[in-house]
Amino acid sequence: MREGAQPRQAEVGGRYEVLHTDCPARDMVDHVTSRWGIWVLISLRSNDLRFYELRNSIQGISEKMLAQTLRALVQDGLIRREVEPTTPPQVTYGLSEFGQDVSEPLTDLFDRITQRLSPHSPG
């Protein structure tokens, strides 16, 4: 038996090992499941929104947190950011094809939870 922990590969058999700290998919999972990531993805499921429309659709999110969340999700390829060359520039956010795939089970999860809640539950 060797002393110390042996590093495991982040990719095993062609699949990512998301429980491994070096797994590149882990950051994306963290972004999607962050406090605001899920709500941004769900908010963009039905249509593209501009920054302030998105902020207004998600109660409780600050501009700073929305900007950080959008930046991470755009970088991950889940959200597309389109800038119209107007003065001032108009920026619209929407789900990429990958973002649609990822957000579908999140919407299903949300729907299942809300269907189980009592009609008198807060929220």
CATH of the domain at 90: 1.10.10.10
Answer yes or no: is pLDDT of 74 > 90: yes
| Percent of the chain at pLDDT exceeding 70 | 84
Average pLDDT over residues 74-93: 94
Domain range enclosing 86: 26-110
**For all residues of the chain together, what is the average pLDDT?**
85
Domain membership flag for residue 121: no
Domain membership flag for residue 16: no
The pLDDT tens digits of the residues spanning 31-62 come to: 888 889 999 999 999 999 999 999 999 999 99
| Percent of the chain at pLDDT exceeding 90 | 55
Domain membership flag for residue 78: yes
Domain membership flag for residue 118: no
The H or E element containing residue 50 is strand 49-50
Domain membership flag for residue 20: no
Answer yes or no: is pLDDT of 20 > 90: no
Answer yes or no: is pLDDT of 66 > 50: yes
Helices (H), 1-123: 24-32, 37-43, 51-57, 63-75, 97-116
Domain membership flag for residue 90: yes
Domain membership flag for residue 62: yes
Domain membership flag for residue 116: no
Q: Tally the domains of the chain.
A: 1
The pLDDT tens digits of the residues spanning 86-110 come to: 998 899 999 999 999 999 998 888 8
